[in-house]
Structures are given as C-alpha cells and as structure tokens.
Amino acid sequence: MKYVDEFRDPARVRRVAEALDRAVTRPWTVMEVCGGQTHAIARYGLDALFPRGLSLVHGPGCPVCVTPLEVIEAARAIALTPDVILCAYGDMLRVPGARGDLLEARSRGADVRVVLSPLDAVRLAQASPDRRVVFFGVGFETTAPATAMAAELARRLDLGNFSLLAAHVRVPPAMELLLASPSCRVQGFLAAGHVCAVAGTGEYPAIAARFGAPIVVTGFEPLDILQGLWMLVRQLEEGRAEVENQYARSVPDEGNPVAREMVARVFEPADRPFRGLGVVPAGGLRIRDAYARWDAERRFSLRLAPLDEPGRCRAAEVLQGLLEPTACPEFGRGCTPDRPLGAPMVSTEGACAAYFRYRRARRAPGEELP
C-alpha cells in the first residue's frame, strides 16, 4: 500500500493542485481520454481542485462504451445460435443493443458466460469439443494482445470449435477524429497510460504536431492526473504542442514490444465504427486472413449494418466531450445503471456511470438531480 499511498498523499496532491492553479492564466479545455481516469477524477473529487478557467471534458476512452450497436446485436445473434457458448468480459453483458443485451439473450436460453481472459475461452473450447465457443473480444490496445494470443493458441492447437468476435479499437485514430471535427473544443489530451504501456507513444507526436494539441501520457492516481494536467497546461501556456510522459514509471516510449508483435501478427488496422463517433479511419483491428478460420465474423457470415442509437440517449455527445453526463435530461431518471439507455451508464469506465455513482453520493439528502 505504501506505493499507492504515495500517489494519493493529501499534502503532495495539494501542492501539485496549487502549482496547477498558478499555471493557469487563461481558459483552457482539455480531455482525458481514458474512462479509468474519468472515474478517478469523480471518485476522488479532483475536479474540486481544478482552477477556474480549466475545463476537463471526458473522451471516448471506454471500450465498452464505443462498441457499436450492430456488434452487440451480432454477439446476441451468435449467442442465440444452437450449440454455441459465447464468452465475454462481464462489462459486456448489460450493454444495450438495438433489441436487448446479452443478459436478455441468456434469459432466452443462450449460453453466455463471463470470463476473465480469452484464454479461459480457449480452455473451454478444448473441454467442450461438441460446442462452438466464441470469445467476444473488446477493448483498446490494452486487451488486444490477450485476444491475439487466444487466436495464436487456437491455431497451434488446431482448435476448430473456437473463434473470436473481435471488436478491438485504437485510441490514436479516435483522438485524430475528435481534433478534426468542426465542433471540437479540445486543446490538449491526457493520454491513457495503460494503452501506451502496450502500444507505446510513437503515434502521438504526429498528432500533436498536426493539430497543435499537446499530449501528456498520464497514470490513474490523483497525483498522476494532477501532475499530467500541470504538464499539459504548462505546454498550452507556453505555446508548445509536444508529447510528454508523466507515467514514465510504467510507460516506455516503445511500449511492450512482445505484445505489439503478437497484435501485429494476428490483427491489422481497419476502419471501425465507434458508438457515438461514427466510422473511425484505421480505428479498429481486423483479424488477418491467416487467422480467418478463427474469425467469428466470417464463420457466422455476419453482415454488420449500422444501427441508430435510441433517440433519447445522448451518449454520442458525452463520448465526444460535448455534453457533461448530468446535462442529459435522462441522467438518473430514464437512464440509470439498472435501466441504462446507453453504454456509458453501464460500463465500469463509463462517464455516466462515474457521475451517477460518485456525484450522487456527494449530493445533500433530498437534493434534486440536476
């Protein structure tokens, strides 16, 4: 605990917050990309320490939240197919699709199981030769290596009853899309430390230079986030647009070469729709032809036609940093973690879930929702 406590020490946090306050001399709007950082900010009430003039908006850094409706529907269709076992991370079971979620499919008889790793799904396929086992793989660069390893292991084992519904997405192309949007008001980014720990920082300098937007790779503890903001504001105030690494204790510039090689062996970049953002050029990972035998999209002949979000759900604006969750008319009323309209209210990294959990807890008794 000593290591963790060091990055939550109130005296150190206060000193960095005071330095951040002194650094801000004009209004700035920056975005934290990662949903884990969003939850840390809400959990520790860090926004109460932000200086006047500094606005922090939340980005599409929750992989569960950006998985599009059509992919959820594809997973439901596979799950409802006879003799199929669909394996997924627990976050995915309650993400609403167009017609229901995976829990609803389970209530209709689908064999849907929660796993902690795609390798658990591989072992299940080995133990169930009379069943078709599909792993529903989602996540950014952080979870893609394990999914790639599952495909490689299935190839080595010649495991014909295993396949992957791969919906992995990439962070840098999403950042580029946001910065290129006419409605963008983001002037700099806190980049997700765990993504960079795997993928490295090599794609970020070109983005920072092209858009004049500084990027600071940041961790997840209170001190990490405040230090990252201080570094970001200092660049903005000085007119610089560079890539800096606050999270150097965990993130080498080259990332994890072994994980990167595994991902490159199994996947290739491809255009991918993000829930709330539309199609992001090179924003996803597609299974290479060499591993087509283990591609559920091909095995089940899926046709993923785009589907529209429910009219009342404004998750798209939340995911683009254009709307604070509490500004949505449905927040806490028509949309709650028990009855979500959109994915950001479901996921443990969703901005709406963070605001519901932590901001409600800080409300005075009897105080109305905003």
Domains, in order of start, for the chain = 68-168+256-299 (3.40.50.11740), 315-361 (no CATH)
Residue given tokens 């204790």 in the structure block: 249
Distance CA 68, CA 66 (A): 6
Distance CA 239, CA 281 (A): 29
Bridge-based pairing state of the strands 54-61 and 28-34:
parallel
Average pLDDT over residues 307-330: 84
Position 2 scores a pLDDT of 53
Neighbours of 261 (CB within 10 A): 11
| Percent of the chain whose pLDDT exceeds 90 | 70
Provide the mean pLDDT of the chain. Answer: 91
Position 32 scores a pLDDT of 93
pLDDT in tens, 263-296: 999 999 999 999 888 899 999 999 999 999 999 9
Q: How confident is the model at residue 84 (pLDDT cuts 50, 70, 90)?
A: very high
Those residues whose C-beta lies under 8 Å from the C-beta of residue 70, and which sit 6 or more positions away, are 98, 273, 304, 305, 306, 307
List alpha helices for the chain, DSSP H. 2-6, 10-23, 35-44, 63-66, 69-79, 102-107, 118-127, 144-157, 171-180, 193-199, 204-211, 222-238, 257-266, 296-299, 315-319, 351-354, 360-361
Burial of 32 (0-12, 13-18, 19+ CB in 10 A): buried
Amino acid at 108: R
> Please, what's the b/e burial string for 269-287 (b: 16 or more CB within 10 A of its CB; e: otherwise)?
eeebbbbbbeebeebbbbb
pTM exceeding the 0.85 threshold for the entire prediction = yes
Residue 366 predicted with pLDDT over 60: no
Position 99 scores a pLDDT of 86
CA quadruple 308, 314, 316, 319: dihedral sign: negative
Position 310 scores a pLDDT of 67
pLDDT in tens, 186-231: 999 999 999 999 999 999 999 999 999 999 999 999 999 999 999 9
Tokens of 94: 């309650």
Tokens of 314: 């404004």
Partners of residue 135 on adjacent β-strands: 87, 164
Distance CA 306, CA 296 (A): 18
Distance CA 117, CA 120 (A): 5
Residue 368 predicted with pLDDT over 50: no
Contact 200, 253 (CB under 8 A): yes
C-alpha to C-alpha distances, 132 to 72, 80, 293, nearest whole angstrom:
19, 12, 13
Closest C-alpha among 93, 113, 89 to residue 104: 93
Amino acid at 352: C
Average pLDDT over residues 359-370: 43
Distance CA 207, CA 136 (A): 31
DSSP-derived 3-state class of residue 330:
coil
Residue 364 predicted with pLDDT over 80: no
Position 82 scores a pLDDT of 95
Residue 305 phi, psi dihedral angles, 5° rounding: -80, 140
Q: How confident is the model at residue 3 (pLDDT cuts 50, 70, 90)?
A: low
